[in-house]
Amino acid sequence: MARHAVFSSGAKLWRSLACAKSELRLDLTLACGQTFRWRETSEGHWTGVMGGRVWTLTQTEDTLWYYVYTNHAGGKNKPEKTDSLRIDEEEAQSVPPTPDPKVEAEMLRDYFQLHVKLGDLYREWGAADCHFKEIADIFTGVRMLRQDPTECLFSFICTSNNHISRIQGMVERLCQALGTRLCQLDQTSYHDFPTLSSLADSDVEERLRDLGFGYRARFLQQSAKQILDTHGLRWLDGLRNVLYLEARDALRTLPGVGTKVADCVCLMALDKSEAVPVDTHVWQIAKRDYKFTADNRQKTLTEKVHRDIGDFFRKLWGPYAGWAHSVLFCSDLKKFQNLRGDTSLTQSKKEEEREGESKKVKIKRELDGHEKKRKPKAERRKKAKISVKTEEV
DNA sequence: CTAGTACCTGA
DNA sequence: CAGGTACTA
């Protein structure tokens, strides 16, 4: 049976890419909640599915090492159930992985967006924001992935009212139930992310409910169906070519996709580096570390708070605000607190300040205050027929 | 535009 | 309650 590749016992089977740890930290980038598809299969080794292939990644100080698995699950590599005719046109998309070092290196460069010089950005953010500077030296190399739009969207529909560990399990079950099987390594089988048409099948809601998806099961199936019925297979990918706010509004017409999820997909899959996903957690960060106070002490995360916090961070960090946000987000995750040294002390000091609730510094924000009025979701549906030029391939 | 509430499930 | 969204007052 095939095993997970380990660098120390077969280094010559691996390929490499020059990439400093300051530009990319696999552990932080792959486990900070932007993707739910990678696992640390042995120390420092991360295994997952990307671009229809199974990879194991590891890194040394100046090098990113990768191993691509070629052995398929032989014969029965279809999803458990396929009763859709539309499958065929999609299968053309998932290229059978013929090993090609050039292609694979390029896939990685694209996935990790290595053309973006993270070190330079860190310096800029640190110069503009002293709190960021405190964090930056420890949480280096937190990089935005360029994920597949379909995978990103449907993964994040699962995140509502939910926590990371459970989301990971759900996404795994989703792929297992509806995705093409790629290979098996040790006891683990790896599946591709389901296609839109397999997600749109009418029995999907019930199947996913049985798998513990709760009310999100309906959202997943309905969103897939709505995309195929009213826009088409390539629509999501096409949103990479339109402006941030247009893509965001388009996504929000889908069931189960609100402001937060739309911003996640914009940032993580649609090349909108300025998108800042605001959840309760980010709101806490804004209040605690940036003394951000909404004008009238909002109780809930309203549309206005979303916009104000997003604008605040964009003004502070600039056009890559979404990337900077992910660094702070990562640094605040419980599972990474062990990395903090001295800063955790200043951190707990800040906690105390928050308890005290004594001094509130109002931050001035210029509000353009002109947002288009929104219709109820059901009505918006048809209108979202924004024609989008699909990407030339 | 804000506030409240239901929605699945498992800690 | 948890990294929300949809619907209603």
Q: How confident is the model at residue A341 (pLDDT cuts 50, 70, 90)?
A: confident
Which of the listed CATH numbers 3.40.50.10280, 1.10.260.40, 1.10.340.30, 3.40.50.720 matches domain A13-69+114-137+148-337?
1.10.340.30
Q: How confident is the model at residue A132 (pLDDT cuts 50, 70, 90)?
A: very high
Closest nucleotide over all strands to A303 (CA to C1'): B1
pLDDT of A293 reads 83
Q: Which residue has the higher pLDDT, A259 or A390?
A: A259
pLDDT of A218 reads 98
Question: What are the tens digits of pLDDT across the range A247-257?
Answer: 999 999 999 99
Question: What are the tens digits of pLDDT across the range A1-37?
Answer: 899 999 999 999 999 999 999 999 999 999 999 999 9
Rounded to whole angstroms, the Cα distance separating A275 from A284 reads 18
> What average pLDDT does range A274-291 have in this prediction?
95
pLDDT of A73 reads 52
Closest nucleotide over all strands to A326 (CA to C1'): C3
Residue A318's CB is within 10 A of a number of other CB atoms, namely 16
Distance A207 CA to B5 C1' (A): 27
Statement: the CB of A206 is under 7 Å from strand B: no
Least confidently predicted of A20-24, A233-237, A358-362, A369-373: A358-362
Given a contact cutoff of 8 angstroms between Cβ atoms, the answer to whether A352 and A326 are in contact is no
Query: Mean pLDDT over all residues of chain A?
Result: 86
pLDDT of A1 reads 83
pLDDT of A360 reads 34
Question: What are the tens digits of pLDDT across the range A290-331?
Answer: 999 865 678 889 999 999 999 999 999 999 999 999 999 999
Rounded to whole angstroms, the Cα distance separating A112 from A19 reads 10
Among protein residues, the one whose C-alpha sits closest to the C1' atom of C4 is: A160
Q: What is the C-alpha radius of gyration for chain A, rounded to an integer number of angstroms?
A: 21
pLDDT of A91 reads 45
Among protein residues, the one whose C-alpha sits closest to the C1' atom of C1 is: A161
Q: How confident is the model at residue A338 (pLDDT cuts 50, 70, 90)?
A: very high
Residue A346 has pLDDT above 80, yes or no: no
CA distances from A41 to A37, A46, A48, A59, A279 (A): 12, 6, 9, 14, 30
Nucleotides of B under 7 A from a protein CB: 1-4, 7-10
pLDDT of A242 reads 98
Q: Which residues have a Cβ under 8 Å from the Cβ of A198 and sit 6 or more positions away?
A: A79, A82, A84, A87, A178, A179, A204
Closest nucleotide over all strands to A34 (CA to C1'): C3
Out of A78, A260, A362, A377, the active site residue is A260
Rounded to whole angstroms, the Cα distance separating A2 from A165 reads 27
pLDDT of A387 reads 40
Residue A256: both structure tokens together:
């189960």
Which one-letter DSSP state was computed for residue A9?
Answer: G
Q: How confident is the model at residue A380 (pLDDT cuts 50, 70, 90)?
A: low
Residue A214 has pLDDT above 70, yes or no: yes
Question: What are the tens digits of pLDDT across the range A48-90?
Answer: 999 999 999 999 999 999 999 986 654 444 454 444 444 444 4
pLDDT of A98 reads 74
Q: Does residue A260 have an active-site annotation?
A: yes
pLDDT of A344 reads 56
Rounded to whole angstroms, the Cα distance separating A291 from A357 reads 10
Q: How confident is the model at residue A184 (pLDDT cuts 50, 70, 90)?
A: very high
Residue A260 has pLDDT above 60, yes or no: yes
> What average pLDDT does range A276-303 have in this prediction?
88
pLDDT more than 70, % of chain A = 79
> What average pLDDT does range A240-264 have in this prediction?
98
Residue with the two structure tokens 């009763």: A83
pLDDT of A99 reads 81
Distance A219 CA to B8 C1' (A): 12
Q: Which residue has the higher pLDDT, A192 or A378?
A: A192
pLDDT of A342 reads 63
Distance A47 CA to B9 C1' (A): 28
Q: Against a cut of 0.85, is the pTM above it?
A: yes
Distance A227 CA to C4 C1' (A): 21
pLDDT of A72 reads 63
